[in-house]
Structure 1
Amino acid sequence: MTYNLLTVDAVSPEAMARALAGCLGIAVGDVDVADSEGDPDLRNWDAPVSCEYRAVRGDVAWSLDIHAQEHVAGQPPESDLAAGFAKAAVTTVLFPAEEAPPSAYWAVTPEGLLTRARLEPSDGEPSRYEVTAVEAPVPQLPRATVTRFAEIVREQRPDTPVARAFAVSVEKVRQAAPGLARPSLDDGTAGPVRTAKGNLVAWERGITQMESGWAPSGWYPACLYRERLECRDELAGIGARLPRDVAELLDEALEQLDGRFAAATEEDPSGSLRRELTGGSAERTPVGWWWRRRPNPRPWHGPDAVQPA
């Protein structure tokens, strides 16, 4: 298994070996630690665990490429290894997050605090790496802005079985009556069926995240919540543009999702949520009943809320 870690402090090779041995449950002598630009003839290529380190500039000091051979029994997830390494080496450690943005990282402190971090390279040469933002204060990164990461929430894609079932059913309808030239969800067109599918996926994702307590981030951007409601607006008006049997399938899917949405929200007869999300604009007043319900609490509010960067 391969691990990629960044350390804020310039940890010594001896400390790296001790920390990795403790994290992986092996002897210190079974860890080969070497400078990536060092003499390869001095390496122990048969070591169960190898760690190449190289110096980097900026808010991080070392980049570690760690490889544990298959016969090493204890191979924890990267997050657990990073936390154990941070504690043993007494330094904050960064490791890549799963989301798409290349700047998305996690930071874990020696005390065990785990938080999101945004790591960005400079434009000049040689590159310097700066931790520009974190979601919780990290003592070793005092210049980082404390903020929430809206782009990470957008990258989260929970499963959408209702939308998937709708797509499968529509395709079966098309295949059963090809002479009607019904649109296919897989033909790359931007027709009404494709639009309905995309909006249904977005609507289901928002509901699923609401039901989970906005996991895994624990919050939700107001702008993204508004977009989900606007997707429901689109679904309300698209039925007339669909073949009748496809429109019926869409109605069935919406009946399921709307019931879940209603169960996860409460009435908002004063329209406070609508005014908050739209800025009270009179240009386009939402009329769907979903605009007259609200999550409680609102996931972008709270005593410890910070504004997304």
Structure 2
Amino acid sequence: MTYNLLTVDAVSPETMAVALAGCLGIAAGDVEVADPDGDPDLRNWDAPVSCEYRAVHGDVAWSLDIYVQDEAADQPLEPEVAARFAKATATTVLFPAEEAPPSAYWAVTPEGLLTRARLELSDEEPPLHEITAVEAAVPQLPKAVVTRFAEIVREQKPATPVAEAFAATVEQVRQAASGLARYSLDDGIGSPIWSAKDNLTVWERFVRQLESGWAPSGWYPADLYRERLEARDELAGIGARLPHEVAEPLGKALTELDSRFAAATEEDLSGSLRRELSGPSADQAAVGWWWRRRPEPVPWRLP
């Protein structure tokens, strides 16, 4: 098991060893804390837990690479280790988020507050580590702007079993076709079948996030909400461009997802959501019914 942590304050190697021992439920003597640029002959390569520390510059002081051997009994997940380590060392600790942007991190305070953090590196050598934004105020990071991270929501990709089943059906149809019939089943980028699969995946992810209460971020940006409705617009007219044996399963998939979307929203008789998303001059009559429903409350105004 490997853990990668950053500390806002400098922590002594002795404190690191004691804190990690408590985090992982082992004796302090079983934790080796070492400078990776030090003498390798002085290392305890058989230690159950090894922590290599490096000084970094900017808003964080130390970068820790922690390696836990398989025989170590307690191997909690990284967020839990970070929270325990922050409490034990009385400093805010950062660890990488799962999303793609390299700046995506989590920060956990000694008091247990867990929030998103945006960590950016300068082009200098050595680089400065700057924590430019957080989603909740962190006392040890007074310069960080408190804001929502729209790029994180865009990266979230919940499972799409309905879209995957549709894609599998398309492949079965293709395998069963022969000769010229296969040309109508082309799914190259930009083709009707490709567009159907892509937009169905987008629509299902959106419906699942709506049903979950916008988990895991707890909110949803307005511009992304509009894009998801526009994906449903694309699906509305694509059936006529597909072979019948593909259009029919697409229709069934949309019936299921649309029903779930309708159940999770309420009718927007005034058209206020459409105007908010597309501007006051938006044509209310020329839109699909999905534009005339709204979640309550709207997710971009959640606290």
* Cα distance, 1:171 vs structure 2: 1.5
Amino acid at match of 2:213: G
Partner of 2:182: 181
* Cα distance, 1:183 vs structure 2: 4.6
Which runs of 5 or more residues in structure 1 are unaligned? 305-309
Amino acid at match of 2:244: R
* Cα distance, 1:290 vs structure 2: 0.3
Partner of 2:167: 167
Partner of 2:85: 85
Distance 1:26 1:119 in 2: 31
Identity of aligned residues (%): 75
* Residue 212, structure 1, aligned to residue 225, structure 2: no
Distance 1:37 1:286 in 2: 66
Partner of 2:144: 144
Amino acid at match of 2:30: D
Distance 2:171 2:190 in 1: 15
Q: How does 1:1-309 map to 2 (within 5 A)?
A: 1-179=1-179, 180-184=181-185, 188-282=188-282, 286-302=286-302, 304=303
* Cα distance, 1:178 vs structure 2: 2.2
Q: Would the alpha carbon gap of residues 137 and 286 (structure 1) be closer, same or farther in structure 2, given more than 3 Å must change?
A: farther
Q: Would the alpha carbon gap of residues 117 and 277 (structure 1) be closer, same or farther in structure 2, given more than 3 Å must change?
A: same
Amino acid at match of 1:140: Q
* Cα distance, 1:280 vs structure 2: 2.1
SS in 1 for 2:94: strand
Contact 2:3 2:67 in 1 (8 A): yes
* Cα distance, 1:281 vs structure 2: 3.6
Distance 2:281 2:170 in 1: 37
Q: Which runs of 4+ in 1 moved over 3 A?
A: 182-185, 281-286
Amino acid at match of 2:237: G
Amino acid at match of 2:67: H
Distance 1:174 1:166 in 2: 12
Amino acid at match of 1:280: P
* Cα distance, 1:246 vs structure 2: 1.3
Distance 1:211 1:286 in 2: 27
* Cα distance, 1:283 vs structure 2: 7.5
CA displacement 1:72-98 (0-9 Å, x = unmatched):
000100000000000000000000000
Distance 2:34 2:177 in 1: 65
Distance 1:228 1:2 in 2: 37
Distance 1:183 1:284 in 2: 35
Count residues in correspondence. Answer: 302
TM-score w.r.t. length of structure 1: 0.95
Contact 1:183 1:191 in 2 (8 A): no
Amino acid at match of 2:118: R
Amino acid at match of 2:55: A
* Cα distance, 1:124 vs structure 2: 1.8
* Cα distance, 1:182 vs structure 2: 4.3
Amino acid at match of 1:241: R
Which runs of 5 or more residues in structure 2 are unaligned? none
TM-score w.r.t. length of structure 2: 0.96
CA RMSD of aligned residues (A): 1.4
